[in-house]
Amino acid sequence: MFKKILIANRGEIACRVIKSARKMGIKTVAVYSEADRDALHVEMADEAVFIGPPAAAESYLLIEKIVEACKATGAEAVHPGYGFLSEREAFPRALEAAGIVFIGPNPGAIAAMGDKIESKKAAAKANVSTVPGYLGVIEDEKHAVKIADEIGYPVMIKASAGGGGKGMRIAHSTSEVAEGFNLAKAEAKSSFGDDRVFIEKFIVDPRHIEIQVLGDKHGNVIYLGERECSIQRRNQKVIEEAPSPLLDETTRRKMGEQAVALAKAVNYDSAGTVEFVAGQDKSFYFLEMNTRLQVEHPVTELVTGVDLVEQMIRVAAGEKLQLAQKDVTLTGWAVESRVYAEDPFRNFLPSIGRLVKYRPPAESKSDNITVRNDTGVQEGGEISIYYDPMIAKLVTHAPSRAAAIEAQSHALDAFYIDGIRHNIPFLSALMSHPRWREGNLSTGFIAEEFPKGFAARAPEGEVARRIAAVAAAVDSIYGERKRQISGQLIGRPVTRAGRRAVWLEREEVLLDIARDGDGATVAYIGADGKAGNAHRVVSSWKPGVPVWDGTIDGDHVAMQVRPMASGIRIAHQGYEVAVNVFTEAEAAAARLMPVGVKADTGKKLLCPMPGLVVSIAVTEGQDVKIGETLAVVEAMKMQNVLRAERDGTVKKIHAAAGATLAVDTLILEFA
């Protein structure tokens, strides 16, 4: 077994590999760019080597820098993680030439399967069912349009060397093919250094299901069940689960055996994933093979009990698989949410900055529920513009799908982040969505259920009552604390009761509250002015703690609590709402206050995220129609098209291609 390995990656996957290596008694070496000098993976590793500037093309993507780091530290092997160099055939060949072991598949398997075009050709040769498409070289956008017309719409334009949703576009018309072709090529070039793309038929109402395979260097290959990855946004996976609610045992076996046959055909000898697009009728087609560890591997680990990173290391060291296919069993259900640094209320635009507070839910493992948080950040760390916006992967495991979802929902409510915007409100909303809970999924789920994007919603019904009850309890504690500080409670029992008007923004909930110890009794007031049934709210929450964790009538509830100048902001199950708790006299005065009106910024195009201006598509004096492209801004390896939200005439352009802009910087204005 290796004594020391180097991880040629960063962030959460580098931290994840370090954990397994540490468990195996193997020392680790981290590499880092200037932007990652204070990163968590650097802190966790036994040694760390600086490899260059923040841009990946000048640091993490330079093979010679990784080889030099191995030689300098005596690392015997390299784990590539995912992304960066993980699927570059040249990387393991360079390591081999230097006498260093690659913890991943052999270069031949990467060459056969890592390239999306070549993998489809290999699959077709092996009689694997594949999606109709064009795998040759596409000369230009006119050629792309011709191909798409022949295949029939909609089509998918995909980067040949791609992954992670980068360099992918769905097109429903010739104009979308022309635009999508150029954007996909640009993203592919930026992210992977390879601008080749291919086009294939986009299956309507599909599901994305993938099979985890594991092979060794002795000809053994097994499959470890499937993962459902259908909840996607812009082809980027958002939520994954294992197993899939679609598959039965027969279909699972067919997909698994096909994945193994394909892996054996290319002498696959590590952890890898064979991805399929599946119809609602359980039909399936080969999509691609990822010759690396997948982002979503934790859900497989939790349902199988197999540490995939450990297995990759053992296989790379020449050991035989200790598992046979008959030994693989799936136990319970696992759900993973990807926590991203992006603002769901602003069309999921990237958010960068410092993590002023980072308080994930506590990791735990019991007989029934497991909570796991794979992360590469820590409080006080910086979210950079240079890399993928992932903050963490929150994973829960339970005996049933319903229980795993419930555990995930509660864990998201207890996940507190301040300093940047993040997608936890959106993830929480998904967890409580009826269609998600029913398992009625497709890759179009988010687009269909949130056609206008994700907007702030006013809580109603039971959720509104829960938020109001907790807000009243929190306000009561604040009130007691103030009176203790001022000396008003000396010699008096700590109790507080009375009628309260709780405002969720401008929606009012009336209730009576009486506190005692760690609990409070709450009764909601009906339209007739009479109190209804009493509810018991219990928590040991204290001012300054960011998450209120307790019970309401015995049911476990968590809410994120942020103090404001005149109240508190509460986040719960996808709702974020400003809450004021008034006495009856205060409420009477508040009702007389005018409602503020936001200024109209409709005549200005502001940069929605920190980023690089790739292009300005209009000129001063030009008339534009709603939906027309105004500019393209690149941030976190994604190109974002900014379109006109109304008809108008361009009055003045304030930014030029190549400029790096801060959030809300003026790009152009309309007459």
3-state helix, strand, coil in the chain (%, to 5): 30, 35, 40
In contact, 437 and 453? CB cutoff 8 Å: no
DSSP of 405-434: HHHHHHHHHT-EEESS--SHHHHHHHHT-H
In contact, 377 and 392? CB cutoff 8 Å: yes
Average pLDDT, the chain: 91
Taking residues 34-60, what's their average pLDDT? Answer: 96
Domains of the chain: 4-103 (3.40.50.20), 105-130+209-331 (3.30.470.20), 132-201 (3.30.1490.20), 333-455 (3.30.470.20), 461-590 (3.30.700.30), 604-670 (2.40.50.100)
What is the model's pLDDT at position 521? 93
> pTM to 2 decimals?
0.83
How many Å separate Cα 344 from the centre of its chain?
12
Of 190-199, 232-241, 246-255, the poorest mean pLDDT is in: 190-199
Cα four-point dihedral sign 350, 354, 356, 357 = positive
What is the model's pLDDT at position 596? 67
What is the model's pLDDT at position 494? 45
What is the model's pLDDT at position 203? 81
Sheet with 155-159, edge to edge strand ranges:
133-134, 197-201, 155-159, 168-171
Tell how strand 207-215 and strand 133-134 pair up: unpaired
Per residue in 462-504, pLDDT (tens digit) is 999 999 999 999 998 887 766 666 555 555 544 456 899 999 9
Closest C-alpha to 90, from 72, 71, 67, 122: 67
HSE, side-chain direction, 13 A CA sphere, residue 500:
30
Percentage of the chain beyond pLDDT 70 is 96
DSSP state of 599: -
> How far, in Å, CA of 269 to CA of 567, rounded?
58
How many Å separate Cα 575 from the centre of its chain?
18
Q: Which of 133-142, 187-196, 540-549 has the highest mean pLDDT?
A: 540-549
DSSP state of 107: H
What is the model's pLDDT at position 637? 65
Per residue in 505-540, pLDDT (tens digit) is 989 999 999 988 888 999 999 888 888 889 999 999
Closest C-alpha to 103, from 79, 126, 127, 84: 79
In contact, 303 and 232? CB cutoff 8 Å: no
> How far, in Å, CA of 559 to CA of 581, rounded?
16
In contact, 344 and 368? CB cutoff 8 Å: no
The answer on pLDDT for 404 being more than 80 is yes
> How far, in Å, CA of 651 to CA of 620, rounded?
6
Closest C-alpha to 242, from 289, 283, 303: 303
Per residue in 56-107, pLDDT (tens digit) is 999 999 999 999 999 999 999 999 999 999 999 999 999 999 999 999 999 9
Selecting among 226, 241, 288, 301, the annotated active-site residue is 288
What is the model's pLDDT at position 597? 63
Cα four-point dihedral sign 374, 341, 84, 126 = positive
Read off the tokens for 183. Answer: 């954007």
Give the pLDDT band (50/70/90) at residue 114.
Answer: confident
In contact, 28 and 76? CB cutoff 8 Å: no
Taking residues 8-26, what's their average pLDDT? Answer: 98
End-to-end CA, the chain: 69
The answer on pLDDT for 15 being more than 90 is yes
What is the model's pLDDT at position 123? 87
What is the model's pLDDT at position 493? 47
Taking residues 435-444, what's their average pLDDT? Answer: 96
What is the model's pLDDT at position 495? 46
Taking residues 643-665, what's their average pLDDT? Answer: 90
Per residue in 405-430, pLDDT (tens digit) is 999 999 999 999 999 999 999 999 99
Which of the two residues, 639 and 670, has the higher pLDDT score?
A: 670
DSSP of 223-275: EEEEEEEEEEETTEEEEEEES-SS--HHHHHHHHHHHHHHHHHTT--SEEEEE
448 is catalytic: no
